[in-house]
Each structure stands twice: as C-alpha cells, then as structure tokens.
Structure 1
Amino acid sequence: MKQKALLIIVVLFVGLTQAQNYSALWQGYYSYLNIKDTSRSENKIYAAAENAVFTYDVNTFEIEKISSIQGLSGEIISTIHYSQDYGMLLIGYENGLIEIVIDGEEDVLTIVDILDKPTIPPTSKKINHFNEYNGQVYIAADFGISVYDLSRLEFGDTYYIGPGGSQIQVKQTTVRDDYIFAACYDGVGLKRALVASDNLIDYQQWQSLATGNFVGVQEHMGAVFAIRANRRVYNVVGNALTELAQLNHMVLDLKSNDDYLVITTANDVYAYDVDFNVIAQATFNEEVETSFTAASVHSGFLYIGTQHNGVLKTALTDGVSFEQLHPDGPLLNNTFAIEAYSNNLWVTYGDYTLTYNPSPLRSRGVSHLRNETWANIPYDSLLSARNLNKIVINPFNEDQVFISSFNDGLLEINNNVPTVLYNETNSGLESLIIPTNPNIKSIRQSASKFDSNGVLWTMTGRVARPLKSYDPTTGQWQGYDFTSLIPDALGGEWGYSDLDISSNGTKWIGGYNYGLIGFNNTNGVQLKNLSTEEGNMSNNFVTSLAVDKNDRVWVGTISGLRVLYNSTGFFTDNVQVEEIVILENGQPSELLYQQFVSDIEVDGANNKWIGVMGAGLFYFSSDGQETIFHFTKDNSPLPSNNIIDVSIDASNGRVYIATDKGLLSYGSGSSGTKEDFEDAFVYPNPVRPDFNMVEKKIKIRGLPENVNIKITDIEGNLVAEAQSNVNMRYKGYHLEIDGGSAFWNGKNLANNTVASGVYLIMLTDLDALETKVLKLMVVR
C-alpha cells in the first residue's frame, strides 16, 4: 500500500516548497531524446531526459510529459527513482536539487537542502543515485551520502565517509542483510557499514572492502554485485570480492529489476540472473546511431535509455530490433534561433560565438513545429550546411524557408525538404577572402528578412558587399557595397546580429563593431551608422533590433537598450538614440541598464517582448514605461533566465521563447491587427457552462488597429464597451483590447456575470468607419 504523506504537513518542513503547475497558459517543447536515467513502477516506465521526464504506460502505451510546465525546475537531471511504496518519483539534479512528483498531486515538491548547503562546494552536489530501504532513501552524491525519510519528507543524517571524514564521490549504495554498501570514487573504493548503526556519521564505522574507483554496487536476489571503473564485475560475499568478468566497455548503469541484474554500457545492455549468467543482451545497432545510457526491465521487455533516440523498447528474447519511445519534440534543448509564422515554428541549433567565430563547426539538424506536430530534419539531409542559425519564412509562401549557414551559405527548404544550398558558385553570395590563404572558403550568413514585396534581404560577414537581396520569384541576386562605411571588409566588421525593415524601405542592421547601421537605396544609396562614440549608443555591439509600428527602431546591445525615435531623419539629421528613463521606487533610472539584450520583438499591440541574458523575459508597454510581465525561473516555467531568442506568431499571439535549457511558449492571446472586419470572429461560441469566462476570457479576433467595441444584450442594453488605446489589456477592464484581439470576462457594467442569452458584439473601425456585428450565445 502506498504511504503517501499529507501535503498539508509537507509544506511546513524547512527546505521543502511546492512548485506551481503552469499548464494553463504555457507550453513546453523539450527534447526527450537524450536520456539520463530510467526507473519503473508497477505499470510505468519513467525516463529522465536532460531536464524533463516522460512516462510510458506498459499497458495502455500512453506517453505523458513532466517538465517545467508541470513544475519541474528545468535544471539538468542526473538520476531518478520511483518509490512504489510511497507513490513518489524522486528526481535528482547535477546541482544538488531534489524534486518529488507525487502520484495524483498536481504540484511538485522541491527540496533545496543539499542545493543550499554552504559546507558542500557547488561542484560537489551532484545527485548520483537513490537507494530506497525501509522507508529511507540513501542519496549517493558527489560529497557522500544523505538520508531522506519518505514518510516524513525530511532529511536525516549526512555521511562523509572519505579519509578523515572528508567529502568523496559516492556513486551508488545498496543494502544487503545488515550492511549498507557504498561504491566510491576518489580512490576510496568499496565500503560497507552496519545499516542499523546510530553512528554512521562517524567515518570510522565504514569498513573498506577494496580501494580504487567503483562505479556501482547493487543487491540482487540476496547477492551483492560491485563494478570497478576498470569494467571488472565482482560478487561481494562478506568482506571479500570475487571477480566474475571484465566487460568490454565502461559501465554506465546498474539496476536490479524483477529477476534480472541489468548492466548498461554505451554499446550493450546485459540482463543476468543471480548466478551471473547472461539471460538476455541488447547490442548497439548501427541503424539506431546512438549510445545507451541506462536501462530497466519490465514484463519481459528491456527499456533502454539512449543519447539520441529516447527510450528503445525491445523484448528480452530479441535485443536487436527496437521500438522508439519518446514524446514529440525538437532535436535538442540548446536552441540557437527560432522563427514563428502562421502556426509554424522553425528551430536551429547553429551556431557562432559572441565574436562571430564559426568554430567549432556544428553539423546539426533543424526542427519544424507545425500544427502541434514536430518534424525533425537530420543533418545528413541538409546538403552539408553547417552552423545553421537565423531563419526567415517567406510570408507569401509559408512552405518556403531560408536558413543562414555561418560557413556554407544560405539553405532553402521547401515543404520540409532542403532543396538548394546557395553559395559562391550558384548565387550572389560571397566567401570571405584571406590574402595569406585564398583557398579558404567561408560564407558567413546570419540575419535575414523579407520585405513587403517578397524580396529576401540577408547579411554576409567579412565581405565588402555584406547586404544581399534575392527575389525568389525571379532568382535575381544583388549585392550592396559597404566599404564607404566599413573600409576593411575582412577585419572591420565581424558579423551582423539582426536585420529589420522600416515602412520606407530602410534596412536596419545590427553590427558588432559598427553599432546600428542604416541602409536605404530608394532614392540613391544612403548608408550611415551610430556606434559607441556617437549617437548615445550604450555599446557598439548590437545584439538585436526591431522596428515597431511607429517606425521607431528599438536597439539592444550587450550593455543596454536604446530607441531611435527619429528613424525617418536618420540619414539627414544629427540624430541620436535615446535611453528609456523610468521611475523605479520614485527615482529615475534607465530601463535595462547594462543588461545584455538578446532579442526584441514587437507584438500586435505594439508592445515589446525583450529577452535578456541572465534576467529572463520582459513584456513592456509600447513606450517601455510600464512593465506588464517579467518572467523568470522564479515566477514562470522558464528553465533558465538566459533568453536566447524570442519569436511571436502574429496569427494567434503565441510567444515562443528559446532559452539555453529548452524551448517554451506563452499564450499571450494577442494578435496582429487586420485591415478590415472580414476575418473578425468570436470564440468560444456558444459559451457553455463549463467554460470559465473570468479566467479564460471570451476572445474576439481579427480587429483593425483602431476599433470601438460595444456588447449589448438582445434588447439593446449596453453590457460592456472598449476602445483601442483606452481599454487596453492588462489594465483590469472587463472588456480589453490587445492589438487585433479583444478579451471579455463575461461581466457587465455592474460587475456581475451575464446570464444566459444572445449577445450582440458591435464592431466599429474608427478610421475607416466600417462596422460589423457578431452574435454570441452564452449558456450558463
């Protein structure tokens, strides 16, 4: 019987907190391909990926995810253990954090005792193994052993069992008869002590059975097996070790499941009986192209964790044919760039360094999310394009995508099929030229953008003509010379972070040495820049930029934020960028002072989403004076405060956020404005009794930029009213407008929830003076 502790008592203990479930507004898109550990319950297999977990029901074959969306920290997982007696999944992390997922409970319990312990160095807190015995969990870690009481959910003693009571790495523990055994590194070897002793904190109580480095020790059907780092397997009887075998590869995992002792190496998984006879073996298959990491046995099947293919399922009697098990998701968690458009999201894993160095070259695939389904394109299908980074989707053909390669050119993908790699042989692109070694070829493509005419503009690093235009309909390329601004083509400017286009056709470019660069060729060529020494730039290294709906250019650097308000006078006037000054605790201060701004995006309401390295994601009002949201690890499911990239799907307002530890999205609900009411609609319609209007809101989509909305009952009585730039979202009105969307909480002017009936939504475009009426049925 499960002995689940009462949560009302749990939260009273020091070091134990509850993590919130964020699934109402957030979605996680973690990679579940690199498995760190496996465990099992009566009817499930648990698989820990890098920073998320999934379960596989062996009876129904259903897969469920547990990630930061459900309350996990998003840190790097090192080991897991499922307690059948208590109905708890224990998750250990490399930083010493422990989390507990309790069957039937929505929130995750977070244990920070080891993480926060000042006497243990940060580099020695990794959790290596959980061993459950008589309601206690012995936690093997890089500092020693800690004891955790599952019934009371609190820590007991910690054992430092190295020489003189020093901290040493303990890889695994097990209990057999009266003894607890510990497999240790740091030359300490294999130790044991009486498990019932009241003085196990005394290192002298721990008897040394062997020296050297041991990777594991496991009780199995009354016997004890231990494995050295030199791949030798021993049977432990009393205080003596008898060598049984030497395996071909380093042992990565050691478990006892059912009647099997399970040993995992990178190439093989072995299932032994108590006499150490091989009962089953699964062997690395070249078609799988991966390495094994951990394994569990359940009901005649091996479930093998791998580095690149999730969990492989194979019958014990088979061992060579595998079924892949993992949730749908992207290839990797360390995303470099993302781009969202019309229910499509593209992801790359580049990269180049901060100083625009492409080395080491990355041979990685790309990922594409479309209508909630992932398609991962492997590297061997990408025409040898390496260091894939910035992405641009053709707005006139969403099935056509261009991805920059920071070494090999520009990759074109059509309908998920890579079709052309543009380079110096088949396009207007150019390789850099090193005078001392002219044979080197490197086409360093980065920022790209389509203009309103369907022409692609793209940047190449370290060439005289870095700006290129390409018309996909005609196949015509054209290059634009920057030597009047950047005389040293090779060494003057190392790379370009971002590119955006104003309504008048000016291309705004983020440089490494030359700051904000503006280019316009509408009436002759105009080329100018603002950098540190001029124009009030906070730094000459521009990391991101965005043109908002007022043609203001928002500029992010490695040390702050600036705004170019007079973009139309950039080439003719003596313009400067400006910092945004806000009142903070009554004192004026600079917005995002000295912060590394990684990305800036403008949503349908002209508000700004700004990612910051080390500080999370900010959502500012259109002028930057109001912080609407500030998402961090502490108040959201972000697995990291390092924001790498942000992209907004204007069709539905969903904000995609790439961090250095995974990809998520936030359902902001806002959307881009429309020219007229042709596509305007309201949903859900009808509103049924089980729909929570106050929390989930009734949405009105497809609105122009300047609109008035009146909601009346069927008799014409006014129920709610809103107007653009007046009843703005996040202000607390019953009816709020955010870009091309409006949100109604179902309450009337008297602050009461409306009754069942038909309601009329009267829309008026205040600019075009057009109107439209929508009907909404509410059933309470």
Structure 2
Amino acid sequence: MRQKISGFTIYLLFLSFPNLLHAQIALTEWRSHLPYSHGIKLTATPDKIFCATESAVFSYNKNDNSIEKFSKVSGLSDVGISTIEYSHENQVLLIAYTNTNIDLIENNTIHNLSDIKRKPISGLKKINDIVFINQFAYLSCGFGIVVINLEKKEIKETYYIGENGTQIEVHELAFDGTYLYAATEHGIYKANINNPNLIFYSSWILMTGLPNYKKNFNAITIFNSKLIVNRSDQNSNTDTLFVHDGSNWSAFDTRQGIQNYSINSFTNRLIIASGSLIRIYNKNLEQINEINNYGWSIPHARCALLDQTNTLWIADFEAGIIKTSDYVNFYSFLPNGPYNTDVFSISVEGGNLVLSGGGLDGAWNNIYKPGELFTFENEQWNSIIDYSIRDVVKVLVDPANPNVFYAATWGYGILQYENGKPLNHFDDSNSTLESIIAGEDFIRVGGLAFDSKHNLWVTNSGVGSPISVKKYDGSWENFPYGSIVNAPTISDIIVT
C-alpha cells in the first residue's frame, strides 16, 4: 500500500536530485520546501509580525519588508505548528507544535521544552493557545492547563479543571487582572489567580447564567472590562457571541451561518475573525468595520490583530499574512512554497520538479481529493488545483521536453500539461484507455513510463487491456494482458 509522504520527508527527496538544486545549495546542506499560505495565528513583536502556518513559521519585517522563514532546518525543534505567541514583557517567542513540543526563542536562542511531548497522557495531547502573565506562560491544552516558568524554562504545574478533577479540553484563556477565565469544551470556568490552590479542581468555578452554559466555548477575551466569549456549534455552523458585564450575560451579533475562529481585544477595538468575515467593534461593542472581500479574494481569516500604528494584520488560511491600513487596500505576504504538504508522486527532469498531492485509501479506492499538482522551476513553486479531476496518483516529466509533464488520475484518465497549463486530457474518448464502468469516471491510471523511443506506457486498472501506450507519433495502442496480469489493480510500470 502506498502512503503519503509528509512535507518534512520532501527535504530528503529533494536532496536526491543534485542537478535540480546544485546551483542553490551545497550537496551537504539541508533545505526546506514548505507551504506558507495556510495562516492560522499571528503575533507581533515591536518590528515584526510572526505568522504560524500548519507547517512552519515565517515573519514579516515592518521596517524593511523582508520575509524570514523558520523551520526545523533553520533550528526549530519540530514540525507542525499548533499556535504561537510573543511576550513583550519577557521578550520571548513561544512556539507550540501539534505534538505538544515547545520552543522558547529568546535573544536568537532556541530553548526546547519537550516535557509534555514526552509525558504519557491518556487525554487529548494538544496545545490550543498561550497567555502570558508576568513570568509565566499559561497553555490551553486538550487535557487542561499547563503553566511554564519562563525564567527557569520549566513546567511549573498542571491544572485539571474538569468535574472532579477530570481532564477537559481548554481552548483559550483570558485574564482580567484578578480572575483567570477558561473557555472549555464544557463551559466557561474561572479562578482567582491569587488562589494558592489552583492545582485543585475545586478552585475552578463553572460560570452559569448563559444559555447552554455547559456547551463548547472556543474563544474568550477581556475587552473594556467585559468578558467576551464565543459558543461554538460546528454542527449548525452558527456560533453565538456573549458578553458578561460583571453581573449579567447577554448575546450580541447573533447572525446565522458564521463560525468564529478567534476574538482579540486591543485598547479600543475588538476584532473577530470568522473565516470569510472580519468584524471590528468599538468600546461600546458597536460594529465600525466589516471586511468580507480583499478586492482580489474573499477572506479566509483565522486570526487578526492591530499593531501600535493601528494597522490591521490577518492570518489568512489561503494567503498567509494580510495587511491593511485603510480597510480598502489589502496586501498579502508569504514565502514562496507549494500549496500544501501532501505528496503522493514525484518526478524531476531537466531542472523541473513536479509533485502530485493525490492519494488512495488502503483498499486502493478513491479518496476523491481535488487534482493537486505542484511544480518547482527556477526557484519558484507554482500550485495547480484542478477541481474537475480527483486523485492524481502519478506524475511524470517528459524527458524530451521538461516543460511538459503528465498526470495520471485514479478515475479521470491522463492529463498533459505544458508550462503549467493544460494541454491534453486523454480518456476513453480519445485514447485506448478504458473505464471500468462505461461512461463513468472510472478510468484508473496508476503508472506512467517512457521508453527509449519516447513512447509513453501506462497502466489501466480493472479492464481487459490493462496496458496502453501512447506512441511518439501520438497514436495509441492497448494490449489485452488482463488474464496474464491477473490482478484487479495495477500501480506503476517500469520500462527496461
């Protein structure tokens, strides 16, 4: 069974092709090729905006407009980012990974804390968010709350705040100077931070008074002395925002069909990132701005913040970092890279590299993933996402013309591209390829190979003639080897 190759393994595969990278890096050096478009979290230092993506971290320098990439190759301890946060008081950047590993970056030095990663925990091991209070970092985790002493660079204690001290997923924390509030999968909990017994679950009180108060709350913040929370309902895709004024709860902005990813508060502004919508409120919780279009794309906002110049920065899941100062002009910043980390097939020829992001399940059935093709040429990645096809399982660069490549699909035949543009689509109407079910998209091609005469040989699973060849003159011929092959599915093919 073929397995997908992770984005990290790509480094190793790239090093296998010295002709492709010879001019850029030395033979013994490492290099990362990661996607940077899927922004999930932002944090600001005095002169930089850091963006966490699903795969890596990058920063944008507001002074000189430079972009810097951070990955395991550049010194980080792990791959797969969960969240990120910067402490202005401690001048520390904390990076949390999806496997709960942690890096503290201070004075250009990386300190790794792998305690949570190494500790066997039966619950959900993940880090959702980070809040800094004095010299401590409070981590919202899938099992509770972890407190890190930033000065000693060690874990201070862990709070299991669920009923009777059970594990409970904490999505986010907020602090008003006295109370620590936790948005969890089963409601909002609060505790006095001066209580010396926060490690005991009885110190944490479940807040009541709002509808369905034991439901899932994924976001929380303090704004203008008010507690703002979001109750998440992924089943209906409609979240509800509530405000607590110190005495009573009330709902606000109860529009339907909106999923709120983050709520961030600043001196006089509240910003809510809701995917295709970013809303900005004043101190009276009156909406003063709404962003639902960049002019060149709709938003896919996961997080938004204001810097000291009131410039709005957005972590966008399709465009990396978005910047706007006037809410009219929007600019995207991100390093060049492939669209995602999914790699199922790879081919290189004449300095051109092509990857496919398709796949199959363990029984060789379709997973119906949109056609994903990534090319690397002249130090630039380009991504081709074709929703008219599914499951690209094999790519092959033409050795006679590296600007041309072929993409085999598990159901839609073969596509031919030239200079990144579709050139031909071969199926049962213009080739000898056959569909398992006539007239349906079951033309399953799993293998491609050129012979010395530039004939393209292909495998065609589940049909009576499982081998076809596209000859150099453009004509096609198939071979009735079904009884000889005697297998329901055929993968790759090698021509000797």
* Class of the TM-score when normalised by the shorter of the 2 chains: 0.7 to 0.9
Choose the corresponding residue for 1:251, options 252, 260, 282. Answer: 260
Choose the corresponding residue for 1:207, options 194, 205, 225: 205
* Paired amino acid for 1:197: N
In structure 2, the partner of 1:301 is 311
Tell whether the 8 Å contact from 1:23 to 1:70 is kept in structure 2 after alignment.
no
Give the 3-state SS of the residue equivalent to 1:251 in structure 2: coil
Alpha-carbon separation, structure 2, partners of 1:494 and 1:372:
41
Separation in 1, partners of 2:78, 2:428: 42
Contact 1:46 1:54 in 2 (8 A): yes
The structure with more radius of gyration: 1
CA change 1:394–1:439 in 2 (3 A) is closer
Aligned position for 2:10: none
- Report Cα offsets for 1:300-333 as digits up to 9, x if no partner: 3322223323232233x325x5322211011111
Give the whole-Å Cα distance in 1 for the aligned partners of 2:70 and 2:441: 45
Residue identity in the other structure for 2:115: D
Q: Which residue of structure 1 lines up, in the alignment, with residue 416 of structure 2? A: 412
Moved more, 477-486 or 46-55: 477-486
Does residue 219 of the first structure (1) align with residue 222 of the second (2)? yes
Q: CA deviation at 1:289?
A: 5.3
Q: Match for residue 181 of structure 1?
A: 181
The structure, 1 or 2, with the larger RCO (C-alpha pairs under 8 Å, 6+ apart) is 2
Q: Distance in 2 between matches of 1:23 and 1:290?
A: 41
Q: Does 1:377 align with 2:377?
A: no
Which amino acid letter does the alignment assign opposite residue 389 of structure 2?
Answer: A
The letter for the 1-side match of 2:445 is Q
Q: Aligned partners of 1:495, 1:430: CA distance in 2, in Å?
A: 14
Q: Paired residue for 1:325?
A: 333
CA distance in 2, matches of 1:364, 1:309: 20
For the residue of structure 2 that corresponds to 1:36, the secondary structure is strand
Determine the C-alpha separation between the residues in 2 that align with 1:290 and 1:367: 23
Question: Aligned to 1:274, what secondary structure does the other structure show?
Answer: coil
Do 2:457 and 2:469's aligned partners in 1 also have CA atoms closer than 8 Å? yes
Tell me, yes or no, if structure 1 residue 197 matches structure 2 residue 207: no
The CA distance in 1 between the partners of 2:391 and 2:142, in whole Å, is: 36
CA change 1:88–1:238 in 2 (3 A) is same
User: 1:113: Cα distance to partner?
Assistant: 1.6
Matched residue of 1:68: which SS? Answer: coil
Q: Relative to structure 1, is the Cα distance of residues 73 and 459 closer, same or farther in structure 2, using a 3 angstrom cutoff? A: farther
Q: CA deviation at 1:30?
A: 0.9
1:705-747 CA-to-partner distances (Å, cap 9, x unmatched) read xxxxxxxxxxxxxxxxxxxxxxxxxxxxxxxxxxxxxxxxxxx
- Worse-superposed segment, 242-251 or 269-278: 242-251
**Per-residue Cα deviation, 1:527-586 (whole angstroms, up to 9, x for no partner):** xxxxxxxxxxxxxxxxxxxxxxxxxxxxxxxxxxxxxxxxxxxxxxxxxxxxxxxxxxxx
Summarize the Cα distance change of 1:351–1:115 in structure 2 as closer, same or farther, 3 Å threshold.
Answer: same
> Does the C-alpha gap of structure 1 residues 425 and 439 become closer, same or farther in structure 2, counting only changes over 3 Å?
closer
Once residues 207 and 86 of structure 1 are traced to their aligned partners in structure 2, the CA distance between those partners, rounded to angstroms, is: 30
- What's 2:278 paired with? 269
Check the 8 A contact 2:294/2:330 in 1, yes or no: no
Name the stretch that deviates more: 290-299 or 326-335: 290-299
Letter in 2 for 1:166: T
For the 8 Å contact 1:209–1:240, the answer to whether it is kept is no
| Structure 2 residue 136 is the aligned partner of structure 1 residue 136 | yes
Q: 2:350·2:399 contact (CA, 8 Å) conserved in 1?
A: no
1:345 is matched with which residue?
Answer: 353
Equivalent of 1:335, from 329, 333, 343? 343
Q: SS where residue 419 of structure 1 aligns? A: strand
In the alignment, structure 1 segments of 5+ residues that lack a partner are 1-21, 487-491, 503-780
Deviation digits for residues 37-96 of structure 1 (CA, Å, limit 9, x no counterpart): 221111211111112111111222211111121233554322211122333221223332
Structure 2 counterpart of 1:479, one-letter code: N
| C-alpha distance in 2 between matches for 1:329 and 1:257 | 33
Cα 1:185–1:439 shift into 2, 3 Å: same
Task: Please give the alpha-carbon distance, in whole angstroms, between the structure 2 residues aligned to 1:134 and 1:247.
Answer: 37
| Structure 1 residues 44 and 494: CA distance shift in structure 2, 3 A | farther
RMSD: 2.4
**Letter of the aligned partner of 1:448 in structure 2?**
L
Deviations 1:645-687 (A, max 9, x none): xxxxxxxxxxxxxxxxxxxxxxxxxxxxxxxxxxxxxxxxxxx
Give the distance between the partners of 1:347 and 1:397, measured in 2 at CA: 17
8 A Cα contact 2:346 2:396, kept in partner = no
Distance 1:369 1:161 in 2: 49
CA displacement, residues 395-440 of structure 1 (integer Å, 9 cap, x when unaligned): 111111111111111111112211100111112222224xxxx443
Amino acid at match of 1:116: R
Is residue 501 from structure 1 mapped to residue 467 from structure 2 by the alignment?
Answer: no
How far is 1:110 from its partner? 2.6
Contact conserved, 1:266 with 1:292, CA < 8 A, in 2? yes
Query: Contact 1:192/1:207 (CA < 8 Å) preserved in 2?
Result: yes
CA distance in 1: counterparts of 2:494 and 2:439, whole angstroms: 33
Asked whether the equivalents of residues 223 and 274 of structure 1 are also in contact (C-alpha less than 8 Å), the reply is no
1:216–1:254: 8 Å Cα contact kept in structure 2? yes
Identity, % of aligned positions: 27
The verdict on how the C-alpha distance between 1:24 and 1:241 changes in structure 2, with shifts beyond 3 A counting, is farther
Q: Give SS of 2:202's match.
A: helix
Contact 2:113 2:153 in 1 (8 A): no
Seen in structure 2, the aligned counterparts of structure 1 residues 446 and 258 have a Cα distance that, compared at 3 Å, is farther
- 1:49-448, aligned counterparts within 5 Å? 49-105=53-109, 108-118=110-120, 120-121=121-122, 123-186=123-186, 189-210=187-208, 211-212=213-214, 213-229=216-232, 231-238=239-246, 240-248=248-256, 249-257=258-266, 259-284=268-293, 288=297, 291-298=300-307, 299-315=309-325, 317-318=326-327, 321-358=329-366, 360-379=367-386, 384-433=388-437, 438-448=438-448
Q: Cα gap change, 1:103/1:454 in structure 2, threshold over 3 Å: closer, same or farther? A: farther
Letter in 2 for 1:265: S
Query: 3-state SS of the aligned residue for 2:482?
Result: coil
Superposed CA offset, 1:343-370 (max 9, x none): 2110111122333212x32223311100
Task: Classify 1:364/1:309 alpha carbon distance in 2 versus 1 (closer, same or farther; 3 Å).
Answer: farther
Whichever residue aligns with residue 117 of structure 1, its letter is K
The CA deviation at 1:441 is 4.1
State the Cα distance separating 1:268 from its structure 2 match.
1.3
The letter of the residue matching 2:263 is L
* Match runs of 1:542-621 below 5 Å: none
SS at match of 2:376: strand
Q: Provide the residue aligned with 1:470 in structure 2.
A: 470
3-state SS of the aligned residue for 1:389? strand
Residue number in structure 1 paired with 2:479: 480
Q: What's the CA shift for 1:272?
A: 2.2
| Maintained 8 Å contact 2:113/2:154 | no
User: Is 1:42 matched up with 2:46?
Assistant: yes
